[in-house]
Structure formats: C-alpha cells, structure tokens
Chain A
C-alpha cells in the first residue's frame, strides 16, 4: 500500500483545486483599482514586478482583476472598441477556461476600454467566435500600469464536475509579450483547477440564432446531464421562461425575441433551479434587415431601369413598395424602409 501512496497524492492534487473566496460586498466594475468589493479576493502574483491578479466569486459570477505594470506607458495600445474585435492586439487581460478536462477551452479577452472578445476553441483547434460569455469588463491606464477587471457569469461555461480550470495572461502589445499565472496559454492540461460547490446539470448542445431583424425565434437544444428531474425557471431575451427536463432528457427551448438590425442585440437565456443560476447563454449578435435593398449604381443612364437589388429575408407576406421621384428612391416593406438618391446622366451611346 505504501508504494502507491505518492501516486495517490499526485492524483488528488490534480483533481482537487482551491476554492475561490466569495466576495461581499460585490465588486462594482469601475475600471479603477480600490473598490472595497475586491478586499476578500485571493491574490496571485505574476512573475513581473507589481503585477498581480485578484480573483473571487459571487453566487453567479467569477470576478478577476489584473493590475499590470507597463514597461513603456507611452506605447500603450487600446484601439479596439467593438465586441469580438481583435482585442488580443491591444494591451489586454486574456483569461482561459476549461470545464471539460479535454482539449477545448474558452477565452475571455478584455482591454482597458472594457471591450471584450470571447471565443471557444474546439478540441480540433477550430475557433468559434459566436460563443459569448456575457462577461463585463472595465479598465484604465495608470502612470506606469494598466488595470482591467472582469465579471464572468459562471453558468456561461456550465462547469462540469463541480469545478473548472483557468489560467491568466496579461499581455503588453508594445513588447509583443505577456506574463502569465496558473498555467500556459492554449494548453488546458496546464490550467489550474478551482472548485465550485454548485452543480450545473444542464448542458447546451446547440443554439439556432436568427440572422434577420423582426420578431424571430431562438432555439436552444438543452440536455439534462443529471439523473434527477429538473424544474427550471428563468428568462430569455427579458421574457420569462420555464421548463422541465427529465433525467438525461434533451429538449429544444424556443424563445421569441425581437431583433433590431441597427444595433448589437444582446439575447441572454438564463435558467435557474431553485434560484441557482445553472445555465446562461449569451449571444451578442448583429442581424441583417428583413428587407435588404442595394442600389447597384447611384448614377444611371437616361431610360435605364433602376438597378435595385431587393431581397426579403423571410417568407414574403406583403409586396415591397418602390417610390421614385426627383432622383429619390424609397423602398418599403412592413415597417422597414430603405432610401437612396440617384442621378441620371446621358449614356455615351445616345
């Protein structure tokens, strides 16, 4: 028996990680260090002077703040402002998560503008930028440092086995280098494990997200991975939802949501069991208009038909109306409109 003891100890170190402190009061993301909510957070130092991470959790979120000294503050780079833009090309905080114990992992990357790029890397290396964590971020530059804080919903990963593994990279663009703690980037086998008391028994198998504006339906394929019946309540796109899932049952949940083509739509499904959040699916998506019109040329020859390309992105129930007067074109369909100006000139062959 003694012979096997070292092996046993080694395995247990891999299987059981630290628990994260529960933060109270909860940190408010101000983008600046010093909020009292971070007081109870666990501190991890990076192998770089005055660079550290604070980590803690609430019932629903994981909180991470990184203060990083910056070796050349005049060369700070924080150019990205759009969600899922290449934030990793800026000074940034890059957090890697693994919840399956396999080769796949999630990444949440944020810069000092509070811009987030989140993605999932599949076991075969393919990246899915459509995956959204629902994380919020804020940050700022100091005299010789930068500071970024993140709140990531735990249920966005639906962690299995009451835990997850994580590593953190603090990257400085000017020297094309980062410093890291808790493991190596893109290597889930090296990430550090953290324990969770809660179980997350619902697995998201797929999301079918609409591509066009108007009242549309999201379809979520869900699976109960536990051996008990689940009675779930929550919300989807702000509207209440409820469902039951028998043990091991797979079910499709359909949610009607109104989508707008002029902005980034935030559609979040939250499912709770007895008030505990067990699944959160966020999709930040831009959709196209139900009526898409383009004018191939805004200069046309006399007598030439208007070069309009009209596409209705749904089973058409009404005609598209086109008005043309004094060089102004208006196309209407339901409550959507597209307008253009057009100039007529004599053809070279008149």
Chain B
C-alpha cells in the first residue's frame, strides 16, 4: 500500500473521533492575544452564542503583573493555560450542540485566583444541572464557604504526593454526568458555578482517555512553568540508629522542611523551655518516624512542680503542625523563586491522629500560658506517643518558671489592621447585626488572648449593620447627632469590645467613621492618588468638607472624652508619599485641622516628603522603613514633643522584638498579619498573596500560625527588654547588677542597627512592609540565649531589692 493511502483513513478516523468529543474552555471576550490556548480546547467566551443570552456572568482572564489581592485575576502565573480564564456564572446556562444520543460530560469547576469570592452571595443557590439532571444543588452558607476556602484542611502532607497533586489538582473540582436520549443538544444550567472547562465524550472510556490526555498536558505545562524540585534529605543524626522514631526539640523560628533532620544535640527525651510568670511560651518538638507510624497521635499531660499542677487543657493550646508552601509575600503574589514552593511546617491545626510517614518530620507545638501566680521552679509534663492507638513511646516537657513577670503596663501597643476586620465568609447571606457583633468580639478576643491590642481595629465603613451616629446638616453646617440606640452601639464597641486595650487609645479612621454615620464625602486623597484633575470647584467643595470634618472631629473628641472611651487618634490619610507632594500638603492640612478641633492626630508615612513635612504637625507619626526610619527622623519627631511609632516595619520575630526595642517606638502597627481574606481561592495554596499569619479554622474562628506565635514571641522579646529597663529605673544606680544591666543594654544598642533596611535580604515593599530578614545574626539560637541573659539580669536586679 502506498503511504498516502494509509495516512488518509487514519486522518479521517481522527477527524471522526474528534467530531464525537468536545473540549471547551471558558473566559471573557478579550483580544485573541490575551487568550492562553490549551491544546485541543475550543475557547468559549461569555458572549459566545452557546451561552444563554440572559446569563449573569463574571468572566476572568489572567493578566501578568499587578496585585493578586486587588482584583483577583492577577497573581502567580496559573499552573497551566486552562487555569488562565474562566466564567463565574451567577445565573444562566449554556447549550452545546451534540449529535449522539449518549454522552458523558465532565465539568472542571473552580479558579486559580478567588474561588467563592466571585460568587453572588445574595442569591445563595448553588446549582449545576445538565439536561435537567441536578449534579450539584446546595446553598451558600457561612459553614460551607469556610469548607470551600479551607478545602485542604483534612489533608496531611505526604512526600509521596507530587507537587501537582498537592498544589494544582485541588484548584479544580470535577463533576461527571452520564446522559442518555440526547436530542441534538446538551443544556447546562448554572447558579453560582465557577466554570473553567467542559469535556464531552460519547462514552466513559473515551472521556477518561481524553481526561488523561488533558491531565498529562496540564502536568507538563505546570512542570515547565514551575520547575520545583525537593531538596535531598539532610543527614540522619547518629542518635537515630536502631530506633523506631526519634523526638527532637526545635524553636519557633527553626524552619522545618519534609527533608529536614535534627542535629544530634537536638535529639532528646526532654523538651526544655523557660518562661516568666504569666508569659505565653511555646514548646516545639518533632517526631521523626524511622518506620511508618499509622495514626500517629501525641498526647500531653498536665505540668506538675513546686506550685502544684498546671492544667494543659485550660492553659495551653496543643497544635499539630501542617506543611504548607509559604508562597510569595509580595502584593503581586508572584512566585519567581522556586524555593518559595518548599513545604514548611508552620500551619497549626487541631491535634488529630495523622499519618506518621517514614522519613517525614511531624512537628507539634504546645503554646502554654504560664498562670500569673505560678510559683517559680521546674515543672514537668508527660508526653505519650501513640500509633494505631497503641503506646509507641514517651518523653517529657520541662518548664522552668522564672521568679518575675513581664511588664505590660506602659509598654508599646502592638496592633494590626484587620483588613476586612472579619473574614469574607462572615458576610454570607443570613448574617445579622448580632452575628457580625459576635464575629468582631471573637476577633477582639483572639487579639486579647495573645495580649495584642485592637486599637487599630475600625469596624465601620461599608456594610456594617450598626451606626454610631448620624451626620446631619447642609454642606458647611454638618454636625454629629446620635440616637440612644446609636449611643448603645457606640458604647458596645468602645466600652466593651475595644476596651481590652492597655494603650488607652483607639485609632479612628475618620472618613470611614463618618461614612458609618451616613456622610459619604469624597475623599480628596483618592483623587490625588488616582491622578485626577482637581478643579477649582472641587477644591471649593473640599474646603467646605474640611470645615465640617473639623467641626465633627471636635464634637466626637469631646464625646469620647466625656464618655471615658479610649482616646481617639484621628487618622484621615496615610502613606502620604504614595500621593506625591500634593498628598503630603493635604495631609499636613488635615494634621492642623485635627489639632484645631482639639483632637489627637495620627499619620502613617512611607517616604521622604512626609518624613520632612509631618513631624512638626502630627501628634503621632508612624513610619515605615521607606520613610526612611533614621535616628534623625525620630529626633525630629521627638523635638516637637510628638510620638514615633512603627508602621509596617516587618512581621518577623526580630523586627517585632529586638529591633523594635532599638527603635524605641510607642506603637507597632503591622498591616498584613490578618490579611487572611486575600488568601484565595484556598488558603492552603501558595499561589496568591501570602502575608497572613492567622488562618481561619473551619468553624470560622481565627487560628494562629507558627509565624503568628513567633511574632508574639518577638513582642515578648521586646517586653523582656522593656521590663529590664524598668527594673533598672527602680534599682540603685551604682549597684553591680544595675551597672551590668546598663552595660549590656548599651552594648546591645550598639550591636543592633537603627535603620530597619539594613536587615532586609531582598527588596522592601514600601506599601506592605514585607521583606525577608537576614537571620545570620538573629535566629532561634541567638534570640534564646539573649533572652536568657536578659532574664538573668532581671533576676539579679530583683535579688538586690
């Protein structure tokens, strides 16, 4: 047979087969160069004739650059072309012509960027029906929103699972439906469905074949886009010889990968920690199975010692750690360094049995709150290790309680911007004023549990179902009024929920506060930031608005003081350098305005223009490293009798602790810690914006990560130093202990560079305050030894009394 006569039937056969199968991918109607083609797929836009005309859709298409958090359609390059676009069908459908009588349909649902945040929560029906057959039917609720967001919560990391299986496969869920008696077309009906692709084949075997081909191609594309490889295992310690598992001690800052191995000196049967009375401190240990240990479970008993028993059930949280790829901490969410995909053990989960896989360290953290009145001395707690319900071994925790307490009174305020205040899923349909209040109180409780402050927490603005007052009057004559119900709401927040602050202050974002009271005034800073042309007429309106703002701030300041609320720090605009000198000039104007109104003013600065212009004007100037923070800036601020604070100076333990002490600031605001709502679509995936240090539990409550506990321990490092400084003040100046302590602090001051930028390993994000910090000098070992040295100095001063 001639070659050409053989090729022709094969070609015809292939054509006939492909005519029987359809592979559709979905997205917005965009120029052809913005469509990423996946081999063998037809691109269907939301304007395609197959899409029902009355459909309500929100299509998305990936575009490189920009911020993952702001629009949700940017961020890390999607794993493959299929994931670069999709359509969120709020309501509508699709008709696909089909010649055969039978078909098997597979829908690939989900998206790389946002997930459920794209859906319409006001019409909560979730429905997927194919030719009248319901495939999915449910209702969006707070409960299942958390479940969708935390989809991988039950997954226990296994080195046997490939990176694709762990980090790409979960993005899309699959629904398969078999259809009979098809009459020329397949009708899809969608309510709140995130549609990425549809595969249709005449039978199951053909569909599986096509699906396998698609998956192979997707895996290949991903491997090309993200050529991550695990590192080789570190050498096994000598102490492991002949054992079924080993126990080892680590500190919060030690980064543990699946391939990490403890050093010989870390292998132990006693995990040792010291803590001051009332301090929160963590015991971190790992179990490295040297053979498989199914249903590995660890149980910690109570501590006992000279002061009696310390119950772990009521004084500690015992967490099982989960590996998670840290991802990018930049606003763009971009992953450019493959090492950002190394799994690290830092997510804290409820302590449940897990697969003790041979050769994979399983880490645990006991976060203990030493009761305030605990007698100093040594306390021990037994730890039992089980596999399949049988005792496999035991070891102990040893706690040394120190004879002093840390001084919180007069210390700096550590606070956070709450971003969405409470997670997006709290706003699912059916929320009430009461449910939102509870969520806010829960968040306040969480912050207070770790002895942080919620004085930067501003639950007002768009959507909050309670009002604190009403602003009435014509432009130029606007004023604040309040009904008894509004006064009660105000009392609830400022006297109850926010009253756990020791700072005695609360930041009030003025424009949002006024928005809550019904006055949605145009904020000129937004126009300056947006480079909009500001007409003389607009300036006139703004001048009038400023007069009203001044009057209202005056009224409210008096009210706050009369009612005994925390002192309001009026904050109107921040990060002024983002808006150039025009923004800084307006910022200065607002500073003067607040002063005239009798209020306390606060501004955040992130550049040299505001660093020059604001120290003389504002009562509180909170700067970030881009200002830059120099001794000259701080001296300038203090020269005017004003207060210096840190704004977005970093989220690491060293930055929160030793370095913060060096700066001598009165407050430390870190914007990113609660940026949980930006971790879409599944917070266990690393592909988008990843600065949050608090993740949601599946019941909607906040759950710390190890990084959050490290940040807290950084705050406590600062408190050790703050306590030492105060003990020095109370001691005799010429006593040996006092001289020693003074000499130590002077030396430490010399050792730590003032300018925060000197510790950044990589470029600093001026808006977010994130940068990797060099750990060569300040790491788990040095911080622990410094802390102990400080504790010794405090004890020496105490013993002199």
Interfacial residues, chain A to chain B (CB-CB below 8 A): 72, 75, 77, 79, 125, 173-177, 294, 296-301, 307, 309, 343, 345-349
Contact = CB atoms under 8 A, between A and B. Distances in A.
A81 to B, nearest CB: 12
A294 B608 contact: no
B789 A299 contact: yes
Nearest to B792: A345
15 contacts: A75-B581, A77-B608, A125-B64, A174-B609, A176-B579, A176-B580, A297-B785, A299-B785, A300-B785, A343-B789, A345-B792, A348-B272, A348-B400, A348-B791, A349-B400
A175 B580 contact: yes
B786 interface: yes
Nearest to B529: A176
B789 A345 contact: yes
Interface stretch (B143-151, B217-225, B775-783): B775-783
Interface of B is mostly: helix
B170 to A, nearest CB: 29
Nearest to B274: A348
Nearest to B531: A176
B581 A345 contact: no
A173 B608 CA distance: 10
A348 B64 CA distance: 53
A294 B782 CA distance: 12
A20 to B, nearest CB: 34
A72 B584 CA distance: 13
A348 B788 contact: yes
B256 to A, nearest CB: 17
A309 B781 CA distance: 13
A80 to B, nearest CB: 11
Contacts, number: 57
A297 B776 CA distance: 9
B776 A294 contact: yes
Interface string B627-664: 01000000000000000000000000000000000000
Contacts of B789: 299, 343, 345
Given A296-B781, A296-B782, 6 more contacts: A72-B581, A173-B580, A296-B776, A299-B782, A299-B789, A300-B785
B596 interface: no
B181 to A, nearest CB: 51
Sort A-B residue pairs by CB-CB distance and give the 9 closest, nearest first.
A297-B782, A174-B581, A176-B580, A299-B785, A294-B776, A297-B781, A75-B581, A348-B274, A296-B781
A39 B580 CA distance: 36
Interface string B57-68: 000000011000
B581 A175 contact: yes
Contacts of A349: 272, 400
A280 to B, nearest CB: 28
Interface in B760-801: 776-777, 779, 781-782, 785-786, 788-789, 791-792
Contacts of B531: 176
A296 B779 contact: yes
A142 to B, nearest CB: 18
Contacts of A309: 776
A79 B785 contact: no
B561 interface: no
A77 B609 CA distance: 8
Given A77-B609, A173-B580, A345 B788 contact: yes
A324 to B, nearest CB: 17
Nearest to A343: B789
B786 A299 contact: yes
B244 to A, nearest CB: 27
A125 B65 CA distance: 10
Nearest to B580: A176
B582 interface: yes
B581 A301 contact: no
Nearest to A347: B788
Contacts of A300: 785
Contacts of B400: 348-349
A77 B611 CA distance: 12
A343 B272 CA distance: 22
A125 B77 CA distance: 14
Contact of B785 (A75, A125, A173, A301): A301
Contact of A345 (B582, B777, B785): B785
- Most chain-A CB neighbours within 10 Å: which of B272, B580, B792? B580
Interface string B568-596: 00000000000111101000000000000
Contacts of B612: 75
A41 B523 CA distance: 48
A288 to B, nearest CB: 12
Nearest to B778: A297
B778 to A, nearest CB: 9
A61 B659 CA distance: 47
Nearest to B628: A79
Nearest to A86: B763
Contacts of A176: 531, 579-580
Given A174-B609, A175-B580, A175-B581, A298 B272 contact: no
A181 B580 CA distance: 23
Nearest to B64: A125
Contacts of B609: 75, 77, 173-174
A307 B579 CA distance: 47
- Most chain-B CB neighbours within 10 Å: which of A174, A343, A345? A174
- Most chain-A CB neighbours within 10 Å: which of B65, B628, B776? B776
Contacts of B272: 348-349
Contacts of A173: 580, 609
Contacts of A125: 64-65
A343 B747 CA distance: 12
Nearest to A300: B785
Contacts of B65: 125
B50 to A, nearest CB: 34
Contacts of A79: 608, 628
Nearest to A78: B608
A14 B792 CA distance: 77
Contacts of B781: 296-297, 307
Contacts of A348: 272, 274, 400, 788, 791
Contacts of A175: 580-582
Nearest to A297: B782
A271 B580 CA distance: 45
A296 B628 CA distance: 28
A347 to B, nearest CB: 8
Interface in B489-507: none
- Most chain-B CB neighbours within 10 Å: which of A307, A309, A343, A348? A348
A157 to B, nearest CB: 26
A72 to B, nearest CB: 6
Contacts of B792: 345-346
Contacts of A77: 608-609
B663 to A, nearest CB: 20
A201 B581 CA distance: 48
- Most chain-B CB neighbours within 10 Å: which of A177, A297, A309, A343? A297
A175 B581 CA distance: 6
Nearest to B763: A86
A345 B744 CA distance: 13
A348 B398 CA distance: 12
A48 B292 CA distance: 74
B522 to A, nearest CB: 20
Nearest to B582: A175
Interface in B57-96: 64-65
Nearest to A176: B580
B330 to A, nearest CB: 15
Contacts of A345: 785, 788-789, 792
A294 B777 contact: yes
Interface string B261-285: 0000000000010100000000000
A174 B64 CA distance: 29
Contacts of B786: 297, 299
A266 B38 CA distance: 47
Contacts of B581: 72, 75, 174-175
Nearest to A75: B581
